């Protein structure tokens, strides 16, 4: 085995797929990157058994070979190199010799046959989504997914595809986000729950590319293909809760307010809230919104007043400030609408501008009981 590759190109691809590798793996082989050389194509793969990420790049080579090289050692070394060609040669001492401009480095390798293969999808359905739309869908929903190991279905993002729209939902029972695109649709109806880790990787990668993403999926696995890269992951098994049932339909009390003013006020006032509940109180009457918080244990309190456009009955409602901050941070609009019915019913946060045609974002936040 012998191939020549650009150090910067190799580092970029390895950093991209390296996010898959866990700090502690059950199989020692998973601490390695798989290198498959086939003529002028080098395929790089990383896996944690649940998710496998592969990418290809062009190299100078006339050989075919498969080996696994230690991930951490390679990344740490490549980061220190300026851009230059690197020559990888397999030696008889069970090492790969890497030759750079100023030195040589010997790295022990493992035979590539031991590396686990990515799951092959049988009878998959297929959908294509522009990378920008998928990136926005992941960014808008992922933060609302749960971390409860006892409820694994809520630790991922629910993908719901139909001939009418593509919908992405995440909830942790305290907050819920539904992101819908009516301008994108599929021929076949499908539902599956994507785990958090591969979505976090895709979120970082999709930000910098502009192309169609092909998604193939069956009952157990999903496969994402874009450019020279592909990611296969096992889906979360189970039935997603009926999220439509918790979204209140009648919300006569509606407030419009500047998003950044609201966000900054909530941030400041929440500093004075109880550090167990993070409770803040919204009191809305006329065209004024009063935001207040108090921490009785330390006699700390704060109150701010904002101008708003409000239609409805005067209302006092309490929220966990951390959830409100996360949601307001997740939006990119100038103005938001907060729709409410009663102080013990969920509030709905929706953007009033900066949305694309066919795009709908609804964020639901559960209220907290106000202590008088």
**Local confidence pLDDT in tens for the 372 residues of the chain:** 999 999 999 999 999 999 999 999 889 999 999 999 999 999 999 999 999 999 999 999 988 999 999 999 999 999 999 999 999 999 988 999 999 998 999 999 999 999 999 999 999 999 999 999 999 999 999 999 999 888 999 999 999 999 999 999 999 999 999 999 999 999 999 999 999 999 999 999 998 789 999 999 999 999 999 999 999 999 999 999 999 999 999 999 999 999 999 999 999 999 999 999 999 999 999 999 999 999 988 999 999 999 999 999 999 999 999 999 999 999 999 999 999 999 999 999 999 999 889 999 999 999 998 865
Tell me if residue 235 falls in helix, strand or coil: coil
Query: Cα–Cα distance between 371 and 139 in angstroms, integer?
Result: 34
Q: Is 240 helix (H, G, I), strand (E, B) or coil?
A: coil
Partners of residue 305 on adjacent β-strands: 290
Q: Token pair for residue 213?
A: 């993403």
Q: What is the per-residue pLDDT for 281?
A: 97
As a whole number of angstroms, the distance between CA 61 and CA 63 comes to: 6
Which of these, 115, 117, 99, 95, lies nearest to 107 by C-alpha position?
A: 95
Query: Two tokens at 331?
Result: 């939006």
Question: Would you state the pLDDT for residue 372?
Answer: 59
Q: Reduced to 3 states, what is the DSSP secondary structure of residue 135?
A: helix
pLDDT of residue 201: 95
Q: What is 21-80 written as a DSSP string?
A: --SS-SSGGGGEEEEEEETTEEEEEEE-SSEEEEEEEE-EE--EEEEEEEHHHHHHHHTT
Q: Give residue 337's pLDDT.
A: 97
Domains and CATH numbers, the chain: 2-114 (3.10.150.10), 125-245 (3.10.150.10), 247-368 (3.10.150.10)
Query: What global pTM score does this model have?
Result: 0.93
Residues in CB range of 40: below 8 A, 6 or more apart: 58, 59, 60, 61
Quick check: 195 and 156 in contact, CB under 8 A? yes
What separation in angstroms does the CA of 122 have from each of 20, 119, 225, 277?
A: 24, 9, 16, 48
Give 321: exposed, middle or buried? Use CB within 10 Å, 0-12, 13-18, 19+.
Answer: buried
Q: Are 255 and 285 in contact (CB under 8 A)?
A: no
Cα torsion 222, 136, 14, 8: sign: positive
What one-character-per-residue DSSP string does 247-272 give?
Answer: S-S---EEEEEEHHHHHHHHHHHHTT
Nearest to 75 by CA among 7, 143, 27: 7
Enter the tokens of residue 246.
């918790």
Q: Which residues are CB-contacts of 184 (< 8 A; sequence separation ≥ 6)?
A: 129, 130, 133, 165, 166, 358
Cα–Cα distance measured from residue 11 to residue 288, given in angstroms and rounded to the nearest whole number: 54
For residue 315, give every residue at least 6 positions away whose Cβ sits within 8 Å of its Cβ, in sequence order, or none. 253, 282, 283, 284, 285, 340, 343
Partners of 317 in the beta sheet?
282
Rounding to the nearest 10 degrees, give the CA dihedral for residues 134, 140, 144, 147. Answer: 40
pLDDT value at residue 371: 67
pLDDT at 51: 96
Q: Given the structure tokens 């109806």, which residue do they identify?
A: 189
């Amino acid at each position: 085995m012998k191939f020549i590759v650009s150090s910067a190109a190799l580092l970029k691809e390895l950093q991209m797929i390296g996010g898959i590798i866990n700090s502690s793996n059950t199989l020692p082989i998973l601490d390695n990157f798989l290198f498959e050389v086939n003529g002028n194509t080098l395929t790089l793969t990383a896996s944690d058994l649940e998710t496998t990420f592969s990418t290809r790049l062009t190299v100078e080579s006339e050989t075919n070979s498969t080996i696994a090289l230690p991930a951490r050692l390679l990344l740490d070394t490549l980061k220190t190199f300026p851009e230059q060609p690197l020559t990888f040669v397999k030696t008889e001492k069970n090492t790969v010799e890497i030759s750079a401009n100023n030195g040589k480095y010997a790295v022990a390798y493992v035979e590539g046959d031991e590396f686990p293969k990515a799951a092959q999808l049988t009878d998959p359905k297929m959908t294509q989504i522009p990378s920008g739309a998928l990136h926005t869908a992941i960014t808008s929903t992922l933060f609302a997914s749960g971390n409860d190991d006892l409820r694994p279905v809520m630790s991922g993002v629910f993908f719901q595809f139909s001939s009418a729209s593509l919908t992405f939902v995440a909830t942790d029972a305290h907050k819920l986000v539904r992101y819908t695109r009516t301008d994108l649709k599929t021929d076949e109806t499908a539902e599956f729950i994507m785990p958090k880790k591969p979505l976090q990787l895709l979120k970082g990668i999709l930000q910098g590319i502009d192309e169609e993403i092909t998604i193939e999926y069956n009952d157990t696995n999903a496969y994402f293909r874009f450019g020279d890269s592909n990611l296969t992951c096992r889906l979360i098994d189970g039935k997603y809760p009926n999220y439509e049932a918790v979204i209140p339909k009648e919300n006569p009390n509606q407030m419009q307010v500047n998003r950044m003013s609201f966000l900054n006020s909530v941030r400041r006032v929440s500093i004075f809230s109880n550090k167990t509940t993070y409770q803040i109180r919204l009191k809305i009457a006329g065209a004024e919104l009063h935001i207040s918080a108090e921490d009785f244990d330390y006699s700390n309190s704060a109150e701010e007043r904002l101008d708003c456009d409000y239609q409805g009955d005067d209302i006092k409602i309490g929220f966990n400030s951390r959830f409100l901050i996360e949601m307001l941070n997740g939006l990119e609009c100038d103005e938001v609408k907060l729709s409410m019915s009663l102080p013990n019913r969920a509030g709905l946060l929706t953007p009033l501008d900066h949305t694309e045609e066919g795009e709908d974002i609804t964020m639901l936040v559960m209220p907290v009981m106000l202590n008088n």
